[in-house]
Amino acid sequence: MQYVAIFAKVHDPRCQKVASELIAWLEQKGCTPLVDPHLTASLGYPRELSEEEIRDQAEMVVVLGGDGTLISVARLFSGRDVPILGVNLGSLGFLTEITLEELYPRLERCLKGDPRVSDRMMLEVTVYRDGKQIEKNNVLNDMVINKGALARIVDLETKINRHILTTYKADGLIISTPTGSTGYSLSAGGPIIHPQMNCIAITPICPHTLTNRPIVVPDESIISVTVTSSHDEKVYLTLDGQVGFKLQQGDSIEVRRALKTTALIMSRSRDYFEVLRTKLKWGER
């Protein structure tokens, strides 16, 4: 691999220090670092590229920071089959599971063409208003419909493959990938799903009817959610916790499996169940 992109949590001094060392290491290996423009400004790195130029040229991506930073990078590279190496400089992440101690040995193997990659399914989220498409995005984790701070519960008519599931009366609704099952969905009582499963989880947020439980459907399902609450209710759509906008009564959100996946480079020293035990502190008193 010749072109390696570097993205980092730029406001974290630790990330800036590691990024500087990583740039020098890659150059010594004969690679060309493609540095995130925000990081370029912080480090004073001379070779400045736009995010679009980096996306088009990169053969591999290194992300320094937490899961949120990696998710934003995954959205940028959606549509390109580029492996992403997530390095967490703090506590272990569900997505950024590579530690700083593992970084350079892992990079050595990747540059030799021996990455251990986990292909993660994504969701394609399309928003329709008055029968017209107004928004379309891919997400790695989840899409969330929720009410405003002072709003009453919202009504969300939900169909699967055009068959009515129910009209949720709740604070909101989460539709997540297996990767996103350990995010907001888990906090709302949703199931933990192994990231290699092919399915979609639907989790209501504080449903008015207590028998409305999370449900897992096949990944070929097409899920449609229509906002049926009155005009004076404030309802919002959030994608991967980073992109969002206000919905109106009658807006319809269609969710299906995206054609593209996100390739995450995994640790060779731990498995998914060790990550679960560590992050969720299972077995600790």
Q: What are the structural domain ranges in the chain?
A: 3-116+266-280, 122-259
* pLDDT at residue 274, as a whole number: 87
Count Cβ atoms below 10 Å from residue 126 Cβ, excluding itself: 15
Please check whether residue 172 is in contact with residue 152, taking contact to mean a CB–CB distance below 8 angstroms: no
Please check whether residue 166 is in contact with residue 179, taking contact to mean a CB–CB distance below 8 angstroms: no
Count Cβ atoms below 10 Å from residue 114 Cβ, excluding itself: 10
Looking at 67, 155, 171, 251, which residue is catalytic?
A: 67
| Residue 232 known to be catalytic | no
Count Cβ atoms below 10 Å from residue 101 Cβ, excluding itself: 9
* pLDDT at residue 263, as a whole number: 92
Alpha carbons within 13 angstroms on the beta-carbon side of residue 78 total: 20
Fold equal for 3-116+266-280 and 122-259: no
Please check whether residue 74 is in contact with residue 52, taking contact to mean a CB–CB distance below 8 angstroms: no
Task: Tell which CATH classification among 3.40.190.10, 1.10.3720.10, 3.40.1280.10, 3.40.50.10330 matches the domain 3-116+266-280.
Answer: 3.40.50.10330
Please check whether residue 95 is in contact with residue 86, taking contact to mean a CB–CB distance below 8 angstroms: yes
Give the residue carrying structure tokens 């709740």: 170
Q: Residue 156: CB partners within 8 Å, gap ≥ 6? A: 145, 167, 168, 170, 172, 173, 225, 226, 227, 228, 229
Residue 275, classed as helix, strand or coil, is helix
* pLDDT at residue 41, as a whole number: 82
The Cα-based distances of 207 to 150, 153, 187, 210 in angstroms read 17, 8, 14, 6
Please check whether residue 153 is in contact with residue 172, taking contact to mean a CB–CB distance below 8 angstroms: no
The pLDDT profile of the chain, 285 residues, written as one tens digit per residue, is: 889 999 998 888 888 889 999 999 999 999 999 999 888 888 888 788 999 999 999 999 999 988 888 999 998 898 788 999 999 877 667 888 788 888 999 999 898 888 889 999 999 999 999 999 999 999 999 999 998 877 678 999 999 999 999 999 999 999 999 999 999 999 999 999 999 999 999 999 999 988 999 999 999 999 999 999 876 778 999 999 988 889 999 999 999 999 999 999 988 778 889 888 988 888 887
**What is the C-alpha to C-alpha distance for residues 142 and 200, in angstroms, rounded to an integer?**
10
Q: What is the dotted CATH code of the domain comprising 122-259?
A: 2.60.200.30
